Structures are given as structure tokens and as C-alpha cells.
Amino acid sequence: MISSASQLRQKGANDLSGRWGEAALLTFVYYVVASIFSGTVTAGGDIFVPGLGTVLSVLLIPMGWGVCVAFLDNHRRTTNDPFHIGCLIDGYRDFVRIFLTLLLSSVYTLLWALLLIVPGIIKGLSYALTPYILRDYPELQYNAAIEKSMAMMEGHKADLFWLYLSFIGWILLCVLTLFIGLFWLQPYMNSTLANFYEEVKQEYEQGGVTEATIIEEETGYNKSER
């Protein structure tokens, strides 16, 4: 049984106790780097290079992954310094697997969204655990990692949807603070999502579903669903 949205948020906040400043700083640095590469890339000082910002933004996918899994490490207390700046480049140590897998999941979500918004949202929820799966299952990549996320999210997409919605009030507060509060809200959300993943993973593993069963069930079914 997955905890309620309020319980998950409380667990996320508890994980950040004493570490809010570090988490906010990491988030700030990430957003600064992302904004530089996505919107203010120039050549020769003032000459804007069309399209280059978009390309470089895509290449920041592994950096976003590093930030995401830092909150999972913090939840597990696997390190005394989970929010070290070096985690921004951790994803580049396994660049091809992480970059292509997460890019693929984004493309799948976009293609479904082009058909209809609702299917795109549903697929986005199905693929939501892919970054954590890349962290915990280094042998999985591309479709295998995405399908693992789909299998784990079976029956939990509504849980994640309502969890996202539960942050609406906090998002509105960020707007009122000219988005300065985002540097605290994003860590809060990431920490909460790490707890959600842990509970879903635990329930999934306790269900006794074997990898062979997953492959057998996913073959043919998910290929047509993606």
C-alpha cells in the first residue's frame, strides 16, 4: 500500500531536515547552468547561434538525472554528502545509456501527446520511474528500462498524478515569490518523488514478479503501446 500524498510529502520533508540549504544550492546551480545553455548561448560574445541552445539543453539530460538521483541517495543515506556539486556530472560517466534512455522516453511521451493530451500524460506517468531505474539497475537501458518503469507503475499512475497535483498550492506560492521559492520547492518535490519510488519499488519486489515474467508480458504488448 502506497502512502498518501500528504504522507509522502512529509517523508520528503523529513529527508531534507538539516539539508535544505545544500539541496537548494544544488538546484540553483543546476537551473543557472540550464538557463545559460538553453537561452543565452552566444558565439563571439553577442551573436546568437540559432538552435544551439536547444541542442545543448538536450545534452543536459544526464545533469538533470544526476540531480534527480541525488535525492534518492539522500533518502537512503548512502552518502554523507548527497548534494555535492559533482553529482551534476555523474550522469556523464554513463552518458550513452542515460542520455539515450531518457531521450527515448521523452520522445515516446511527445509522440503520444501529439495524438491526444491525455494519452501523453498517462505515458509520462508510466515512464516517470525511468531515471531511478537507471540508477538501481545498471544492466538495463533504452526500452528495457522504460518497460521496467511501466511495469512498476502499473496500478500507481493515479497515485503519482494526485501526488503531483498536491503541489499546486506550493507552485502558486512560488509564483508569488517571483519563483525564488522554486529553489526550495524543487528539492521538496524531488525528495517526495524519491520516497514514492522507494515505496513502489518495494511493493513491486514483494509482489514476486520476476524479470522473466516482465519480459514475457512486455514483449508485444508495450511495443504496440509505445
Residue ranges in the chain modelled with pLDDT below 70 = 38-54, 208-226
pLDDT tens, position by position, 22-72: 999 999 999 988 888 766 444 444 444 445 556 777 889 999 999 999 999
* Residue 70 burial by Cβ neighbours in a 10 Å radius (0-12, 13-18, 19+): buried
Residue 48 bridge partners (DSSP): 42
pLDDT at 39: 60
Q: How many CA atoms lie within 13 A of 151 on its CB side?
A: 24
Q: How far apart are the first and last CA of the chain?
A: 28
C-alpha dihedral (169, 175, 176, 178), degrees to nearest 10: 150
Q: Tell me the chain's radius of gyration from C-alpha atoms.
A: 18
pLDDT at 117: 87
pLDDT at 78: 80
197-212 core/surface letters (b: 16 or more CB in 10 A; e: else) = bbbbeeebeeeeeeee
pLDDT at 47: 41
DSSP state of 116: -
For residue 200, which of 122, 133, 143, 113 has the smallest C-alpha distance?
133
Chain centroid to CA 53:
21
- Grouping H, G, I as helix, E, B as strand and the rest as coil, residue 39 is helix
Q: Which residues contact 79 (CB under 8 A, 6 or more apart)?
A: 73
Show the cell assigned to 99.
542520455
pLDDT at 45: 41
**Global pTM?**
0.84
- Number of folded domains that form the chain: 1
Q: Could you tell me the residue range of the domain that residue 209 belongs to?
A: 5-225
